[in-house]
């Protein structure tokens, strides 16, 4: 299963990222990752897998990382280049036009301190293989941040927002759900699914967060800004750090570290 709508309609996806839901997803995930970034690396390199419009890439570059943004969509890369030019990150981001499952062909083994893989695994045929590739390009003590749709969040969304209780029941065990932006199927994951994939690739989870715990279930306008936005953001971040609330968030974020004993040095065969 490879959902290509996200790649064919880059402008629609970029517009979504400007909505309240899109901003919260990007900024909450970034703040969670920022707290876990490795310190003191001699050369600070980052890989943004399926980096899309470049939000995380720009943030990392502004912190001094040399970033490779890899995406299969030329239109996404074009938008990311525009975002880079409008920031202070110019010159520290390079762009690679390739599928996520070919990242090992373009990136050398053991060459990155940070890998970002946000909202990518939902669209892939074999997400576990991509995780193995990611592990292979990570240095010792490097970190990876994985963000995916949370199964429990999709159950609640169907029950609360849609009032479709049969769909909510189906989502308890479904492999995919219908994407609200494009109307095509995307994968959903339980947190243990993500941790299991990471562990099988030799990566140890060091943090689990929920992203968008409550805001998806309220009729909040997209133009929330200033103090009101900050209040929503801070409460979301506080709740997302607590396991009992993270369990029902719309997205699950797992941050993992690669140790010297890691067995995930290459792709699964």
- When mean pLDDT is compared across 3-7, 26-30, 46-50, 167-171, the lowest value belongs to 3-7
Instruction: Determine the average pLDDT of the residues in 74-80.
Output: 94
Higher pLDDT, 19 or 41: 19
pLDDT tens-digit profile of 173-193?
A: 999 999 877 788 999 999 999
Instruction: Determine the average pLDDT of the residues in 33-57.
Output: 89
Angle at 234 between CA 89 and CA 222, to 5 degrees: 75
pLDDT at res. 265: 44
Q: How far apart are the first and last CA of the chain?
A: 19
pLDDT tens-digit profile of 83-100?
A: 898 888 888 999 999 999
pLDDT at res. 9: 76
pLDDT at res. 41: 58
Q: What is the pTM of this model?
A: 0.92
pLDDT tens-digit profile of 205-261?
A: 999 999 999 999 998 999 999 999 999 999 999 999 999 999 999 999 999 999 765
Rg for the chain, CA atoms, rounded: 18
What are the φ and ψ backbone dihedral angles of 104, each rounded to 5 degrees? -70, -15
Name the architecture of domain 5-148+178-258. Answer: 3-Layer(aba) Sandwich (3.40)
Is residue 65 pLDDT above 60, yes or no?
A: yes
pLDDT tens-digit profile of 131-178?
A: 999 999 999 999 999 999 999 999 999 999 889 999 999 999 999 999
Report in angstroms the alpha-carbon separations of 141 from 66, 83, 106, 176: 17, 30, 21, 33
Number of Cβ atoms within 10 Å of the Cβ of 103 = 23
| Of 89, 191, 192, 198, nearest in space to 133 by CA | 198
Q: Are 134 and 14 in contact (CB under 8 A)?
A: no
């Amino acid at each position: 299963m490879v959902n290509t709508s996200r790649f064919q309609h880059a402008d629609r996806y970029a517009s979504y990222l400007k909505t309240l839901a899109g901003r919260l997803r990007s900024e909450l995930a970034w703040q969670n990752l920022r707290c876990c970034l490795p310190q003191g690396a001699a050369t600070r390199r980052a890989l943004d897998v399926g980096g899309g419009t470049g939000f995380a890439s720009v943030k990392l570059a502004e912190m001094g990382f040399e970033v490779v943004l890899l995406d299969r969509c030329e239109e996404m890369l074009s938008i990311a280049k525009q975002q880079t030019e409008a920031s202070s990150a110019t010159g520290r981001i390079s762009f690679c036009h390739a599928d996520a499952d070919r990242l090992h062909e373009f990136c050398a083994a053991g060459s990155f301190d940070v890998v970002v893989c946000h909202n990518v695994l939902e669209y892939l045929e074999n997400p576990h293989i991509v995780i193995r590739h990611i592990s292979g390009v990570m240095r010792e003590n490097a970190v990876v941040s994985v963000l995916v749709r949370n199964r429990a969040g999709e159950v609640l969304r169907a029950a609360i927002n849609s009032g479709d209780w049969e769909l909510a029941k189906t989502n308890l065990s479904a492999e995919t759900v219908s994407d609200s932006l494009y109307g095509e199927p995307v994968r959903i994951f339980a947190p243990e699914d993500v941790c299991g994939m990471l562990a099988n690739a030799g990566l140890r989870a060091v943090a689990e967060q929920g992203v968008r715990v409550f805001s998806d279930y309220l009729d909040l306008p997209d133009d929330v800004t200033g103090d009101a936005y900050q209040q929503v953001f801070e409460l979301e971040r506080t709740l997302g750090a607590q396991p009992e609330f993270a369990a029902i968030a719309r997205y699950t974020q797992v941050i993992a570290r690669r140790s010297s004993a890691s067995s995930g040095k290459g792709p699964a065969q």
